[in-house]
Amino acid sequence: MSRYARFVWSVAAAVVVTAAVPVAARAGDGVGRYEAQELVWGPCDQEGALECASMTVPRDWRHPGVGADLTVEVSRHRAADPAKRRGVLMMAAGGPGASGLGRPAGFVAASPEVGAVYDVVSFDQRGVGASSRAVCQTDDQFRDFYAGDFRDRSPGALRGVVERSREFVRGCLAGGDLVRYLDTDQAVHDMDLFRELLGVRKISYYGPSYATWLGAYYATEFPQHVERAVLDSNLAFDGSWEQAELGQPMSFQRRFEQDFLPWIAKYDSVYHYGGTAAGAKATWEARRAALRERPLTVGSSTIGPNQLDNATIQGMYNAGLWPSLASVLASLEHWDTTTAAERQRAAKTFANYLSPGFNAVYFPVTCNDTPWNRDLGHWVRQSAADTEKYPLLGARELAYASVCAFWPASDAPHVKVTGKGLPPTLMLNSVHDPATYYEGALRAHRALKGSRLVTVAGGGDHGQYQNGNACVDSVVDAYLVEGKVPAHDLECAANSLPVPTS
């Protein structure tokens, strides 16, 4: 039995598997030829000091050798000070569906002390970008998926939403069986093969957003290979994707109403959007209703109510985006007299939301990872309630949940995160994070025994490290570089909110 297969066997007890045969028993000796490969490094396109290589992985780690192999593209930025090099820091992208390949370069530029002592490595998760890529939709189908008004609860509108979700699933499956092997457990095994091929026994890890789920699974399945881990803006990885996503309508609405609307109202002299939070909300809702009756054309994009939702949702992730979002919202109020620069900014804002490639990984992973309620009647009722209470994100709930309701059953294992066998893990979260809401992060913190939580109080940005917060950065840098573990959970004050430049 190969070293990798022996290790999989040794940690199988940490993983609760839904299928009848344990993962380790199914892995067998079929992994040997993957371990025997060598990574051939070369310059990444236009990435300066960043190197890239192609790694061959099994299509299905639970049945290695069955089906065509996949390629996972990997990258590295070598430690700036080889004499002080202390190991490998693996980082991953969020989503699921975002690209991680080019991230080490920006990471090292933002944290040179960390980059001096670590080889910082990353990858495009299977299905993403330069790796073996999943395809579910054309550009036109992607636009159709978000067309119309998700708040429309008429029978015809609901049927249309459900049918577009069904068509999305058909499109994914028509593109081949790759989407069936896009789940967090498969990605975890890809990561550990990468570690093996780098020739190191342990890695340190940094992951934001979905990459907290990915990192928690990796640490649970391969605790002996984790030296230090930073999980930034944590999903509720102690439960299911359905549970995690059901909390997001509340947290996005909270961020919008309690943080953004008071901020834009404070600068009514700049944006003329309403001098109170209630007044600004009324202006936003009136514009949304007007876009439903008469959508606008911005470049090649049609801007209707769902597109207004999407742009606003995107702007909730980080307060640094608020001045740009507010300027675009203000321009919609005098569209007939906007300048060329205002229209260009609006076009960029409305075009920059997700993509067919992102969705082609996001939905397979979230649908494959953990079970979903497949009762469409339940989702019609649940989405009606969330549309009423939390319309910003709740309105699209039926579209997203229906995809997983139609998704074929998966044999992905259920991984119970406990923290057993791990060194202290550092977790970061803001109290009003819209995407990885604090309540879920607290549950994840309790599940990951021995972890330390850094709470960013008074803010709601998504992604805390390298976000200009000196308190957070100093804690993380000391942990990664010097191994300093906070004695207990601690709190950092949030960044000051932005001030408009005009």
pLDDT at 299: 81
Query: Going by C-beta distance under 8 Å and a sequence separation of 6 or more, which residues neighbour residue 93?
Result: 99, 100, 103, 122, 124, 125, 128, 210, 211
Burial of 39 (0-12, 13-18, 19+ CB in 10 A): middle
Range 78-106 average pLDDT: 96
- DSSP secondary structure string for all residues of 50-104: -EEEEEEE-S-TTSTTSS--EEEEEEEE--S-GGG--EEEEE--STTT---TTHH
CB 30 within 8 A of CB 69: no
Q: Residue 183: name the closest of 225, 134, 129 by CA.
A: 134
pLDDT at 373: 97
Token representation of residue 114: 């960390």
pLDDT at residue 30, rounded to an integer: 81
Closest CA to 22 of 34, 10, 4, 35: 10
Note whether 342 and 327 are within 8 A (CB): yes
Least confident of 43-52, 214-223, 278-287, 447-456: 43-52
Cβ-Cβ contacts under 8 Å for 298 (sequence gap 6 or more): 343, 346, 347, 350, 351
pLDDT at residue 298 in the model: 87
Q: What pLDDT does 502 receive?
A: 66
Using one digit for the tens of pLDDT, what is the confidence trace for 189-205? Answer: 999 999 999 999 999 99
Q: What is the pLDDT of residue 22?
A: 35
- What was the pLDDT predicted at 29? 61
pLDDT for the residue numbered 400: 98
**429 - beta bridge partners?**
455
User: CA-CA distance, 72 to 133, in Å (whole number)?
Assistant: 9
Instruction: Say if residue 17's pLDDT is above 60.
Output: no
Quickly state the pLDDT bin for 47 (edges 50, 70, 90).
low
pLDDT above 60 for 23: no
The pLDDT of residue 48 is: 74
At 46 the pLDDT is 64
Q: What is the mean pLDDT of residues 458-468?
A: 98
Whether residue 54 is predicted with pLDDT greater than 50 in this model: the reply is: yes
Over residues 385-390, the mean pLDDT reads: 98
Measured CA to CA in angstroms, residue 109 lies from 53, 98, 112, 116, 335 at distances of: 21, 20, 6, 10, 39
pLDDT, residue 27, reads: 43
Is the model more confident about 49 or about 386? Answer: 386
Report the alpha-carbon distance of residue 474 to residue 446 in Å, rounded: 24
pLDDT given at position 194: 98
What local confidence, expressed as pLDDT, does residue 49 receive?
Answer: 85
- Look up the pTM and report it: 0.93
The per-residue pLDDT for 5 is: 39
Band (10; pLDDT cuts 50, 70, 90) = very low
What pLDDT, on the 0 to 100 scale, is given for residue 7? 32
pLDDT band at 45 (very low <50, low <70, confident <90, very high): confident
Residue 206 has pLDDT above 60, yes or no: yes
Binning the chain into helix, strand and coil, the percentages to the nearest 5 are: 50, 15, 35
- Asked if pLDDT for residue 381 goes beyond 70, the answer is yes
Q: Considering the chain, what percentage of its residues have pLDDT values greater than 90?
A: 91
The structural domains of the chain, ordered by start, are 3-133+179-240+413-493 (3.40.50.1820), 137-174+243-369+373-406 (no CATH)
Of 61-65, 283-287, 365-369, which range is least confident? 61-65
Mean pLDDT estimate for the chain:
93
Kindly report, residue by residue over 234-267, the tens digit of the pLDDT: 999 999 999 999 999 999 999 999 999 999 999 9
